[in-house]
Each structure stands twice: as C-alpha cells, then as structure tokens.
Structure 1
C-alpha cells in the first residue's frame, strides 16, 4: 500500500506545479532559514499578487504613485495571519481590537544583486521585522536577507542592516497607499516598532500555527486522503 501511495504522490509532484501558498513548505530549517515566494521585485510598477484559489499571479493594480518596492517582496508559504499573530501584536504594541489580516505572512528579502523577476522562490534568512498595523489588522513585515548574498548574506540580525536601507523599506510601507492630495486624516497604516531576529522567528512560528489551525497539515492530509481512496 505504501509503495502505491508513495508512487502516486510522486506522480502528482511530477505532473503538477505546487500551489505557492499551500503546496510549498516553509523549508527544512524553518524558521531560521525559510523559503519565500516573491510576487514583486524592485523594477515592477505593477502590484502583482497571488490569486489564492489558483496559485497564479495576477495584476492587483498598477502602482498609483511614485513608490516602488525597494527589495524583493512576497510571502511565506503555509503561513496565515490570524488569532495568534494578532494576539502577539496586541501584547507587544499595547493596542487592543487588533485582528489578523487573513493573508500569508509578508516578507521582504534584501539582496545586493538586481533580481528583475517575480513568481520565484528564494531561500532567505529572517533577521527582523516591522510590527505593522493596517486599518486595525496585524500586517507584520518580516525582513530577511537572501541566502549566500555577497553583501547581506552573512548578516544575522536587523541591527546589522544599514539604517538607510531599513528607512527606505519603512517609508515604502508607510506611504505606498497614501494619497498625496490628502490631509493625512486618511492614514490607517502604522509601524509601532522594529524588532530583531528573535521576534521575527516568533511571528513566523505563530503564523505557521495559525495556518495549521485554519487549513491543517496539507501534506499529511493529502497523503491520508489518497491512502483512504486506495483502500
């Protein structure tokens, strides 16, 4: 039975591309080293986003203003921002009434190299993050460095990242939705603090647990279902 089951799983893996959110794992060494799915790169003037049901990339919208994402931007597979992430955000920020944004955990990956395409997987090392709240929703942004990057790859914590690089990333997140003609009263995005590697790993683990609570263990459930069908 197990031989047939393993063979069938192997055929599925060979014939079909894995869903970037559900079918790709965080990585064998997660959360210290993770696999990130990149939706947008610094040359994009379009906001690309994953279509959750299908796993394909689609155009969410053209970027309205001059802001361009300053590094590779995407999400961590098999993560979900729900109750655990929201509770941790409230604990650390001292705010109340925060909920998860019901999306995968966002990540921005810093590299010295010019990578001019999205819809790719990259191995990276989390070094910290921004505790961001968007319209009352926990919307953490994990900061990572590309594994083996010649300039950033050996950096282990966020305090090793040049402050100007972090300021550029922070400015993007705080302003990319802002209307330049508004008086500021419409601003709903805030970054309450910047945290280091230890908290980043905590947020990743919580978001993975939120994912398991919502969707279960996709790989185990798939194998169990096939096993039941095979009798």
Structure 2
C-alpha cells in the first residue's frame, strides 16, 4: 500500500506533533531557544520552520531551554482561568501555543528539537491585557532535576532567574516601562489545569487533529 505523501515531509512542530500520550502529566515540548543563543529564535507559524526573530539586544538571556507544547493554544479558557485567579478583567489569551521552560543539567547546544518534560508548576504572566502563562517543567529522567515534582522543590534562585528574564526581556531603554507582571507562581496541579485548558482551546480552534498530527510525540517505543 502506498504511503500518504506527507510521510516524505517533516511534521509542523505546532500542528503536526502530539503533545504526548500522557499529556498534561508529561508533555512533548518543542524547544526554540537555549541559554547560549545570542539571537532570538521563534517558530514561523505558517511554515513550521524555526526563524531568526531578532538579535538579543541586551544582556538578559533565557536561563533554560524554552519553547512550547504542540497542539496547545492560549485562548478563551486559558484567559478565563487567569481572570478567575488574578481578579483582572478583560483578559484575553495571547494567541500563541503554551510556553514552557524545561529545567535540565545538560547543555543543549541548539533548539529545533523535541524533548519529553514533566510540568512542575508555572508563572501566571499578564502581558498588557493578555494571559501569557509560562509552564515550568523538568526534563524527563534528568539527573539533577528529574526527581523534582513541585515548584517548592525547585531552587529558588532558578525560579527568580526565570521570573527576572520574563519581566525584563521586552523592556527597551528609553521607551517606558512595559506593563508585564507575574501575578502568580503556581504548583503542578494548576500547571496541569492550564495545559489542559490550552489543549481544549486548540481543539476548539483547530479541531481534534488527524493521522499526521498524532504521528510523533518524541517518545521512545
């Protein structure tokens, strides 16, 4: 039997990869950016190709591998949760896949790869009037971080570095202070709730997926 033509092409990292059979308890994460990057990489949503977004203009660099969870979307359900938990009104989702930071002791030299990660918590970030949550996870089976299950077990200095990065990386000298706040640091149960909502937001917008969209989760068989 002749295979479908799409078998000859790389899957789209956002739409063509499963978030994982065990999601949200364990997820597949697509890594765009690593701590050593001197430029900001970002997935081109139309083509699925990693593109250079901009040079890193200032000294702040992301302290962990950073990317998103495939087939998630920060939409109405994510925004509603942020409004409920923070008391802010008129919040909307930022329209992007769910962001994720993955803690690991290993040096990952470049992005554009899939990893298996276990969520341990997250940051409830409000950027202007948009919900822009950042899930914090640990690399599955990582020697240093792999046994961490909750945010309270994570080194405080690392959490502070992640918070500082996201509070400052968009600040441009001379242009006034950008209205960004981290309204809440939450633990694993809330992180799972947020991921689940982002998966439902994706399904509402894009549908339940297809043979291609579920063909790869990055898990060893």
TM-score, length basis structure 1: 0.89
Contact 2:17 2:213 in 1 (8 A): no
- Counterpart Cα distance in 1 of 2:6 and 2:32: 25
- Counterpart Cα distance in 2 of 1:100 and 1:190: 15
- Report the equivalent of 1:179: 172
Per chain length, whose mean CA-contact separation is higher, i.e. which structure has more relative contact order (CA < 8 Å, sep 6+)?
2
Q: Name stretches of at least 5 consecutive residues in structure 2 with no aligned partner.
A: 215-221
- Report the equivalent of 1:208: 199
Choose between structure 1 and 2: higher helix proportion: 1
Correspondence for 1:118 among 105, 111, 117: 111
Give the SS at the match of 2:172: coil
**Alpha-carbon distance, 1:222 to partner:** 7.9
Q: What is the number of equivalent residue pairs in this alignment?
A: 214
Greater radius of gyration (CA): 1
Runs (4 or more) in structure 1 with deviation over 6 Å come to none
- Report the equivalent of 2:85: 92
Correspondence for 1:127 among 96, 120, 125: 120
Q: Name stretches of at least 5 consecutive residues in structure 1 with no aligned partner.
A: 224-231
- Report the equivalent of 1:18: 11
**Alpha-carbon distance, 1:218 to partner:** 2.1
- Counterpart Cα distance in 2 of 1:70 and 1:222: 30
- Report the equivalent of 2:218: none
Give the SS at the match of 1:218: coil
TM-score, length basis structure 2: 0.93
